[in-house]
Structure 1
Amino acid sequence: MNEFISEFSLGDADGPSIAIKDSIDVAGYPTTAASRALADAPAAGLHAEVVERLLDAGWRVVGKTNMHELAFGMTGINDFTGTPENPQDETRIPGGSSSGSAAAVGLHLSCAALGTDTGGSVRGPAACCGVIGMKPTFGRVSRKGVAPAVSTLDCVGPFARDMTTLTDVMAAIAPGFDEIAAAAPPGAARIGVVAVDALDAIRNAVARAPSLAGFAAREVELPRLRAAFDAGLAVINVETWRAFGHLLETGKLGADLVARLRGASQTSAADLAVAESVRDEFTAEVDRVLDTVDAIVLPTLPTLPITLEAARGGAPVIAMSSLIRPFNLSGHPALSLPLPLADSPLAAGLQIVARKGADELVCALAAQFEAALASQRAPA
Structure 2
Amino acid sequence: MNAATPRTVPGTGNALLSRFHLGGSGPTVAIKDCIDIAGQPTCGGSAALADAPPASAHADVVARLLEAGWQITARANMHELAYGMTGINEWNGTAVNPQDPACMTGGSSSGSASAVGAGLVDVSIGSDTGGSIRLPAACCGVIGFKPSFGRVSRAGAYPALSSLDCLGPFSRSMDLIISAMASITPGFDRAAASTPAAHARVKLVTVQADTEIAEAVAAAFAASGWEGSPWTPQHMQAAFDAGMTLINRETHDAFGHLLGLGKLGADIEKRLSAAASTSDAAVAHAETVRTAFSAEIDAALADADALLLPTLPALPPTLEAIRQGTSVLMLSSLVRPFNLSGHPALSIPVPIAGSPLKAGLQLVGRKGEDERLCALGLHLEQVLKRLP
Query: TM-score range with shorter-chain normalisation?
Result: over 0.9
Of 286, 308, 316, 2:327 maps to 316
How many angstroms apart in 2 are the aligned matches of 1:256 and 1:317? 13
- Please name the residue that 1:327 is paired with: 338
Alpha-carbon distance, 1:376 to partner: 4.4
- 1:5 partnered with 2:6: no
How many angstroms apart in 1 are the aligned matches of 2:192 and 2:119? 27
Of 226, 234, 240, 2:237 maps to 226
For residues 87-166 of structure 1, what are the structure 2 equivalents within 5 Å? 87-166=98-177
Between the two proteins, what is the percent identity of the paired residues?
A: 56
Q: Deviations over 1:44-100 (max 9, x none)?
A: 010000000000000010011000000000000000000011010000000000000
Of 348, 358, 361, 1:350 maps to 361
- Please name the residue that 2:219 is paired with: 208
- Please name the residue that 2:81 is paired with: 70
Q: Match of 1:273, as an amino acid?
A: A
Structure 2 unmatched runs, 5+: 1-8
How many angstroms apart in 1 are the aligned matches of 2:193 and 2:235? 30
- Please name the residue that 2:45 is paired with: 34
Of 297, 306, 313, 1:302 maps to 313
- Please name the residue that 2:3 is paired with: none
Q: Which moved more, 1:341-350 or 1:18-27?
A: 341-350
Of 209, 221, 228, 1:217 maps to 228
Alpha-carbon distance, 1:309 to partner: 0.3
Alpha-carbon distance, 1:38 to partner: 0.3
Q: Classify the secondary structure of the residue corresponding to 2:125.
A: strand
Q: Classify the secondary structure of the residue corresponding to 2:303.
A: coil
CA contact (8 A) 1:25 1:46 kept: yes
For residues 163-178 of structure 1, what are the structure 2 equivalents within 5 Å? 163-178=174-189
How many angstroms apart in 2 are the aligned matches of 1:69 and 1:375? 39
Q: Classify the secondary structure of the residue corresponding to 1:70.
A: helix
- Please name the residue that 1:250 is paired with: 261
Q: Deviations over 1:274-323 (max 9, x none)?
A: 10000000000001110121111100000000001011111101111100
CA contact (8 A) 2:216 2:359 kept: no
Of 203, 206, 226, 1:195 maps to 206
CA contact (8 A) 2:33 2:42 kept: yes
Q: Classify the secondary structure of the residue corresponding to 2:164.
A: coil
How many angstroms apart in 2 are the aligned matches of 1:301 and 1:185? 25
Q: Match of 1:150, as an amino acid?
A: L
How many angstroms apart in 1 are the aligned matches of 2:344 and 2:186? 15
- Please name the residue that 2:348 is paired with: 337
Q: Classify the secondary structure of the residue corresponding to 2:320.
A: helix
How many angstroms apart in 1 are the aligned matches of 2:158 and 2:120? 24
CA contact (8 A) 1:340 1:376 kept: no
How many angstroms apart in 1 are the aligned matches of 2:361 and 2:373? 12
How many angstroms apart in 2 are the aligned matches of 1:276 and 1:346? 38
How many angstroms apart in 1 are the aligned matches of 2:145 and 2:41? 25
TM-score (norm 2): 0.96
Of 250, 255, 262, 1:239 maps to 250
CA contact (8 A) 1:131 1:160 kept: yes
How many angstroms apart in 2 are the aligned matches of 1:223 and 1:101? 33
- Please name the residue that 1:51 is paired with: 62
How many angstroms apart in 2 are the aligned matches of 1:206 and 1:16? 30
Q: Classify the secondary structure of the residue corresponding to 1:147.
A: coil
Q: Give the aligned CA root-mean-square deviation in angstroms.
A: 0.9
Of 304, 319, 332, 1:293 maps to 304
Alpha-carbon distance, 1:204 to partner: 2.0
How many angstroms apart in 2 are the aligned matches of 1:371 and 1:240? 39
Show structure 1 runs of 4+ deviating over 3 A: none
Equivalent pairs counted in the alignment come to 376
TM-score (norm 1): 0.98
Of 356, 374, 378, 2:385 maps to 374
Alpha-carbon distance, 1:209 to partner: 2.2
Q: Match of 1:9, as an amino acid?
A: H
Q: Match of 2:172, as an amino acid?
A: R
